[in-house]
Structure 1
Amino acid sequence: MLQSVLGRRAGRSDWPWALLGVLVLAQICYPLTSGGTRAAFTVATVVIGYLLSVTHALLSRGPRAALALVGAATLGGFAVEAIGVATGFPFGTYVYSGQLGPKLLGVPLIIPLAWTWMAWPAWLAAQRLPIARWARVGVAAFGLAAWDLFLDPQMVAEGYWRWLSPTPALPGVPGIPVGNYLGWLGFAVVLMTALSHFSRVHEPRPGDAPMLGLWFWTYASSVLAHAVFLSLPASAAWGGVLMGAAVLPVAIRLLIPARPGADLRRVRP
């Protein structure tokens, strides 16, 4: 009986790693394609990433955390996108093309899935830093919003969406107003605050390794893809610096052992 239970637990814990592997393969294929095939890889990547994060939340922290993630990021993300498309607040006036699949209220259904996909690893990565809980909310929100410095230039270049008034823009990154990034930062703070409160996830666990791998892979692969494969060097630089401000401290924390006697939080198995 004990072996059977342990076997089931081991099988469940393999799912995030398997989904992460499929996700990485899909992202590697993305710059090697074009047109409708590339759009299909975009949709597939988002769906796989969504399943990865929600599955990990459910298996590692239980139904409460998974529901909190879906409520804050998926439903909250859709709500703010629908408001944004209808009113221009808080991201500026923009429209989506029809390349990303079906829409509801003018918003492609995969868009809130994308924010859910990246919100969970951003939150878990912030738990690795020895800082106050409110500060972890800020780090996770900043990291999630900074990811948009890669996402929006890439998607605008593909024609998946566009702004009607794209100025003022960051130097070297035309087509996207600065206000869009500020809008995402504001919403990311609300999202992470809600996730912190409702999920009650405030401690790291060894089983978070797939999500940390996703967080580091997303950062490193985005810098490489924009700089080398997608001909977007400015967004590679902006994203590399600003998202790096949230990602690199976590990497350093994991790579450099804590000093003896440091006040470390207990990591539950």
Structure 2
Amino acid sequence: MSAWLRADPRRAAPAVAAVALILVQITYPLSSGVGRDRITVAVVVLTVATALLHAATTRGIRWAAGFFVIVSGLGLIAEMIGTATGFPFGSYAYAVDRLGPALAGVPLVVPLAWTGGLYPIWVVAGLLAARRGPDPDAAHASASARLRRAGIFAVGAVGWDLFLDPQMVADGQWTWSVTDAGLPGLPQIPYTNYLGWALIAGLMAVLLTELDRRLPPARDPSVAVPVAVFGWTWLGSTLAHAAFLGLPASAVWGFAGLGLLGVPLLLRATRTTATRRT
């Protein structure tokens, strides 16, 4: 690891941001009121910083900027349409003046969260779609691999939201008009929300695949930071929801949903380790 950092000190930046992210997230269950709102914003900023620093280091500034524009841009458009019309997530509204400046009723920190939260899922989806090798962008070698990655990415996005929405609704950051048409234990979040997430994530995957096709491949195949953030999100959120936030249903649903990527990722890592030892 030290030799890896000495080869290019810029690689330390996303790792430092990821450590700061984890430390700040640990304080979330210990906070309340305005303090918790500030921590929420800080978590989003650090997730975005971690994602874009890693993307810029491994894929270059243009790719990182493209990822941000696609994911946060489409996320903002989807949120603005969603709050105005109820499509594609269902009818919902954000709390006023809690998460900073807003545009058309959508706090601007929200589309940032799309970039920070979905970047690790995109990387993991690439690893799983490629099936072999350390480079997640090897998934673009064939049309079937690209399709696999898009599908895995959409599943992972919904899995992440099984943690995100219950946590933010419980904190009063947004509310739904229909509160009795959701999953067992999560009736306050309608099924339409998850269908909307799958739809928007699918559109993002199409655009991200085109971005990959147009720009050079990864100059640095290291994926340790986003994979670690993914693992922390999956297992850390499960623990936090179950033990500290009083959200046992979302702990189960989120663990299962994001586990559709997490379990294959663990199996892949186990096989890779076993192969290296033989």
Taking only the aligned residue pairs, the percentage that are identical comes to: 43
Q: Distance in 2 between matches of 1:222 and 1:258?
A: 26
1:73-97 per-position Cα deviation (integer Å, ceiling 9, x unaligned): 1111101101101111001111100
**1:227 equivalent in alignment to 2:226:** no
SS in 1 for 2:127: coil
**In the alignment, which residue of structure 2 is the partner of 1:166?**
179
CA contact (8 A) 2:58 2:219 kept: no
**In the alignment, which residue of structure 1 is the partner of 2:166?**
153
Give, as a single letter, the amino acid of the residue that structure 2 aligns with 1:125. Answer: V
The structural deviation recorded for 1:196 is 1.6
**In the alignment, which residue of structure 2 is the partner of 1:30?**
28
Trace 1:60-75 onto structure 2 (pairs within 5 A).
60-75=58-73
Give, as a single letter, the amino acid of the residue that structure 2 aligns with 1:209. Answer: A
Q: Distance in 2 between matches of 1:149 and 1:127?
A: 21
The structural deviation recorded for 1:152 is 0.4
CA contact (8 A) 2:181 2:188 kept: no
CA contact (8 A) 2:186 2:250 kept: yes
Query: CA RMSD of the aligned region, Å?
Result: 1.9
SS in 1 for 2:154: helix
CA contact (8 A) 1:23 1:49 kept: yes
Structure 1 runs of 4+ with >4 Å offset: 201-206
The structural deviation recorded for 1:10 is 2.5
CA contact (8 A) 1:124 1:204 kept: no
The structural deviation recorded for 1:174 is 2.6
Of stretches 140-149 and 199-208 in structure 1, the one that deviates more from structure 2 is 199-208
Change (3 A) 1:203 1:248: farther
Q: Distance in 1 between matches of 2:263 and 2:32?
A: 32
Residues paired across the two proteins, number = 254
Give, as a single letter, the amino acid of the residue that structure 2 aligns with 1:72. Answer: I
Gap runs ≥5 in structure 1: 1-5, 261-269
**1:247 equivalent in alignment to 2:269:** no
Gap runs ≥5 in structure 2: 132-144
Give, as a single letter, the amino acid of the residue that structure 1 aligns with 2:126. Answer: Q
Pick aligned residue for 1:187 from 189, 200, 203 = 200
Pick aligned residue for 1:197 from 194, 205, 210 = 210
Pick aligned residue for 1:135 from 144, 148, 154 = 148
The structural deviation recorded for 1:133 is 2.1
CA contact (8 A) 1:91 1:179 kept: yes
**In the alignment, which residue of structure 2 is the partner of 1:175?**
188
SS in 1 for 2:272: coil
